[in-house]
Structure 1
Amino acid sequence: MRFFSVYDVIFYVAKERGHSEKDVYAFFRKFKIKKKDIEEYKTSGVIPSDLTLIDAILSYTEMSMIELELKMGRIPRGYEKVFIDKTKDIADLLSKNKNETYPILNINVPPFFETELGKLYSGDCVELLKQIPDNSVDCVFADPPFNLDKEYDEGVNDRLSYSDYINWCIKWLDECVRVLKPGGSLLIYNLPKWHTYLSNYLDQKLNFWSWIVVDMKLSLPIPNRLSPAHYSLLHYVKGSKPKTFNNQRIPLQTCRHCGGEIKDYGGYKSKMNSKGVNVSDVWSDIYPVRHNGSKNRKFNELPVKLLDRIISMSTNDNDIVLDPFGGSGTTFAVSELLKRRWIGFELGNCEIIKKRLTNKEKDKKLLEKVYKEKNKLFPDKVKELRQSNGFWLSEDF
């Protein structure tokens, strides 16, 4: 059984002992602890800072502090390094029960919307993240507001001071690090400016894996500055290496007019993989969702191709993907189509996401279009163009 709060642990013990709710609160009154003091932690995964309350909880449950933290699904304080160093031993121990089923993680508030594969919650991500058990999520993808003073939905503040924005990011990052399984991947999509700070902080918590440049030539020139032409995607791993890394392959870059390869591979043509070339850490084939007819909301929206690459690269079927900033729901839509389980939060308009997940045809067609070019050295149209102009194909070798 998984526990999310000290309240859960208290009443689990009470049930085991046959104690009523009245019995429980009578015991805590001896410590001058009121009912409301305990119920304050009913929907919170944090450990109380009040030492009197902690002593009373340990006394009632007859547990040590380490036992309490383990019951809550946490790594006991001070043991994080031991846990990470022993991930293989722990994984071997857990893998002995291969028939165990893993339901979608539950939170002590009703979901706004749910499918067979995932649950969407409406609310502040920092508070909702606190209810997720430690080491329970395979991949976290986060696309937070960029603090550019954009107009989002009511309740979403995109105009914080420099320090307030960084401090807010650290709050949800700490929770994301906590909920990741050993070997799990954390990927964050943001401006390079903010990533210089976030990367410096995450270097103390996780293992740096990649700084991915996502080429997006959209911005207008800025006086006395280089023109912004990319977003960055940070990839960090909990532990020494990712438990899942599925290599992604894309077509060889060719001229759109004649079909000839742009880079000369010389005598290595015969060694080219027929499924395409390895994706590098510069993604120049991802294009923004520009047309209003393709958007699910009026704000910026991430392309299906971007999320397919991220989720396909860092997870396998049935893994759990967490997105604390649901936005238009691209992460959840792609997770559904790729048969990944998911959990999501959104502070703004959740109806947009619900509508999108209820009507999957548009996303299905977009994903089919992505896969027409994925894992192919030359897409069909490029192959025809190359044949007509006498260029080599992988079948020639």
Structure 2
Amino acid sequence: MFFHALNIDSSSRKALQHVAKSTGIPVARLKAIDAHGFEPTAAEIERLAAFLGLTEIAFRLRTGFLSRPLRKLLAASADEIDKLLGAKLGNVASFNQTPSKTVAPSFSTDFGVLYQGDCVEIMRSLPDQCCDLIFADPPFNLDKLYPSEMDDDLRQDHYLEWCEGWLDQCARLLRDGGSLFVYNLPKWNTFLSAYLNKHLTFRHWIAVDIKFSLPISGRLYPSHYSLLYYTKGGRPANFQPDRMPMEICPSCLVDLKDYGGYKDKMNPLGVNLTDVWYDIPPVRHAKYKKRKSANELSIKLLDRVIELASKEGETILDPFGGSGTTYAVAEMKKRKWIGMEIGPVEDIISRMKDLKDENQYLERIRDGYNKLFLPEHAAARKARGLWTASSFNNRSPENLEEKQQLLLGPY
């Protein structure tokens, strides 16, 4: 993008060496600016602009490296710019809001509808503010082969431009107070977060622990996916996260944390959910996978997101259907849903027609939330003389010595 904007032939080694020699900027640095979107330093901009016969402003406008002072200057000159460029721009400025033709659904249930096709085109056909929750798990641009045969190895600037296109639609489709979750690699979500900050309100960067990942040479061990959480407007219309059981030793059942010595004040419904999720299992076993050729999301992850940010009867949209996990969980939890998948949809349809086993699995997941201890652990702890929520509730507050002994327990 950088070379193209400056009419530099990036395929010509001779041309790149000429630019490098003339500006004193190494070829490797020039390639990094082009490939990764790194902004040149002030000195590099001065040298490049002089080499190309441009002013600094012209250079920045051509390449898109707009400094904060330049953005302020453009805003202050909006009327003049509009007169100069208005006729040339036409409808380009509103391109992302242009409605698309209505697409016929491939499948529907009492709660949802599934479309096959490009997500941006389908989202353009939907009315403004029609969704309460959007969950997006886009391709990670890792050069994987998808059934749709889409290009999963785009240049960085092309991938980010594509992401910004569907994120624009997500922001448009969200109701005031609605929530957006974007699941991606931290590398990409750093860029997407910066873009979303211009449109929505940041809530959390959630780290979802990766189980059984293989290390990559030359880097820190990659051990989490990033889940961005944004809302439209200042406050979310729905925010009711599940509470989690206390962390205890699986064999001896003693506490693994002291919670600041305030166990007597622990909420009997459990511990507050944090922004680091260690308990989301990968779906790798062939017996449970609904999409054999690629990874798929855990029911546990979608259950947590949907419970946190929506209520029964509200509308959930997922622009990247994949194996259909979002739609399956939404269906089981009596949420309306809008789905779309650019590739084959037969596996999603087959899955949606028989959710009995997955509903039983979801019920087992739900049994583990909103209690300080699982029932079997509470009974075993009581038998071993360890404190439980009920043991505090049944004691007199004046009996401090006995309560302190319960807090310590037979560790």
Pairs aligned (count): 300
- Counterpart position of 2:116: 122
Aligned equivalents of 2:222, 2:135: Cα separation in 1: 23
Matched, 1:338 2:333: yes
Matched, 1:348 2:329: no
CA contact (8 A) 1:214 1:282 kept: yes
- Counterpart position of 2:166: 172
Q: CA deviation at 1:390?
A: 2.4
Residue aligned with 1:156, SS? coil
- Counterpart position of 2:32: none
Aligned equivalents of 2:105, 2:266: Cα separation in 1: 48
Match for residue 247 of structure 2 among 244, 253, 256: 253
Residue aligned with 2:248, SS? coil
Residue aligned with 1:277, SS? coil
- Counterpart position of 1:90: none
- Counterpart position of 1:375: 370
- Counterpart position of 1:213: 207
Q: CA deviation at 1:218?
A: 2.9
Aligned equivalents of 2:131, 2:148: Cα separation in 1: 29
Q: Equivalent residues in 2 for 1:1-397 (5 A)?
A: 108-265=102-259, 267-298=261-292, 299-397=294-392
Residue aligned with 1:276, SS? coil
Q: CA deviation at 1:107?
A: 7.7
- Counterpart position of 2:65: none
Query: Structure 2: which amino acid aligns with 1:152?
Result: Y
Aligned equivalents of 1:346, 1:218: Cα separation in 2: 28
Aligned equivalents of 1:394, 1:378: Cα separation in 2: 8
Aligned equivalents of 1:267, 1:155: Cα separation in 2: 56
- Counterpart position of 1:78: none
Query: Structure 2: which amino acid aligns with 1:203?
Result: N
- Counterpart position of 2:46: none
Query: Structure 1: which amino acid aligns with 2:243?
Result: R
CA contact (8 A) 1:215 1:230 kept: yes
Aligned equivalents of 1:362, 1:150: Cα separation in 2: 30
Aligned equivalents of 1:329, 1:161: Cα separation in 2: 28
Q: CA deviation at 1:266?
A: 5.5
Provide TM-score, normalisation by structure 1. Answer: 0.72
Aligned equivalents of 2:204, 2:170: Cα separation in 1: 18
Deviations 1:337-394 (A, max 9, x none): 1111000100112111111110011210110111110111111232243234321111
Aligned equivalents of 2:101, 2:304: Cα separation in 1: 28
CA contact (8 A) 2:270 2:371 kept: yes
CA contact (8 A) 1:301 1:328 kept: yes
CA contact (8 A) 1:155 1:347 kept: no
Q: What is the percentage of aligned positions where both structures have the same residue?
A: 49
Query: What residue ranges of structure 1 are gaps of 5+ in the alignment?
Result: 1-49, 56-68, 76-105
Deviations 1:174-214 (A, max 9, x none): 01111111111110000000001000111111111111011
Query: Structure 1: which amino acid aligns with 2:164?
Result: I
CA contact (8 A) 1:258 1:385 kept: no
Query: Structure 2: which amino acid aligns with 1:137?
Result: C
- Counterpart position of 1:25: none
CA contact (8 A) 1:258 1:389 kept: no
Aligned equivalents of 2:260, 2:185: Cα separation in 1: 37
Q: Which has more radius of gyration?
A: 2
Residue aligned with 2:169, SS? helix
CA contact (8 A) 2:297 2:325 kept: yes
RMSD of aligned alpha carbons: 2.2
